[in-house]
Amino acid sequence: MLDDRVARVVLTASGGALRDRPRERVYHATPADALAHPTWSMGAKVTIDSASLTNKALEVIEAHWLFGLESARIGVLVHPQSIVHSFVEFADRSVIAQLGAPDMRTPIQYALSFPQRPPGCSRGLDWAALRRLDFDQPDLERFPALGLGFRVVDEGGTSGAVLNGANESAVEAFLAKRIPFGRIAELAAGAMDELGVSALRDLGDVFEADREARRFVGSRLSGATVG
């Protein structure tokens, strides 16, 4: 739990393969479009989540639970270079940033070796070659899935399980070319609206919320195909 010395935590997002496209082209993007990530090489599911910013919605939820932060103390910025991975802004408005090459081996190594820091397996940063670092506010009209993560933090209960289950089911449908890209977030939001929020008493409630979310998406896909 972070104490009141921390004003907020800011997560960075690469913005995915569609970050520079206008809203209409984002909505109708194909799997080939969304899988063409300019920086990271990841599996299909994670790459699609990066394109929709659902990956960052899930990280917002993680930050809430890991550090006890309410939604107002969690921020997200789009950072195409993927060099700055997060910021911690303190109450005195000073900021500490975590920087590193865009290589997931570094955080994996640290998770396995914590609290030690053995020699790294990733390349170091060439500071002389680092000419610019860009940051932009995410566009929630083009990428509404990010807003669903903040909604989960505020609503609590089963909302996170519903979001995750609906998104996974919708991504499967998108990769199978049954829905356009923009329908992923629409279906996830629709599941959250339709199923509402229940209290979490045990893991059984999580699994049931996940099943209901997947059923909801499935019920909206009967016979659906794209192009």
**CATH number, residue 184:** 1.10.1740.10
161 and 126 within one domain: no
Residues 89 and 6 in one domain: yes
Same domain, residue pair 72 and 131: yes
For β-strands 74-78 and 6-13, DSSP reports them as parallel
- What is the number of domains present in the chain? 2
Higher pLDDT, 17 or 13: 13
Alpha-carbon gap, residue 123 to 120, rounded angstroms: 8
* Predicted local confidence at residue 214, as pLDDT: 97
Together in a domain, 49 and 80:
yes
The predicted pLDDT at position 223 comes to: 61
Is the model's pLDDT at 89 over the cut of 90?
yes
**Rounded Cα gap, residues 149 and 99, in angstroms:** 24
Q: Within a domain: residue 149? A: no
Is 27 among the domain residues? yes
Matching residue, tokens 């990280």: 59
User: Is 207 domain-assigned?
Assistant: yes
| 144 part of a folded domain | no
Distances (CA, A) of 150 to 57, 79, 115, 129, 180: 7, 19, 30, 36, 24
Instruction: Tell me, yes or no, whether 146 lies in a domain.
Output: no
| 116 and 55 both lie in a single domain | yes
Q: Tell me: do 123 and 196 sit in the same domain.
A: no
Q: Is the same domain home to 164 and 98?
A: no
Q: Is residue 104 part of a domain?
A: yes
Average pLDDT over residues 156-162: 97
> Is there a single domain that holds both residue 15 and residue 95?
yes
Residues 46 and 126 in one domain: yes
Q: Do 2 and 85 have their domain in common?
A: yes
215 in any annotated domain? yes
- Which phi and psi angles does 87 have, rounded to 5°? -125, 145
**Out of 75-84, 104-113, 141-150, 210-219, least confident range:** 104-113
Neighbours of 97 (CB within 10 A): 14
Neighbour-count burial for 143-164, b at 16+ CB within 10 Å, e otherwise: bbbbbbbbbbbebeebbbbbbb
Structural domain range at position 171: 156-222
Same domain for 127 and 88: yes
Residue range 159-181: mean pLDDT, rounded: 97
Residue 145 lies in a domain: no
Do 61 and 123 fall within a single domain? yes
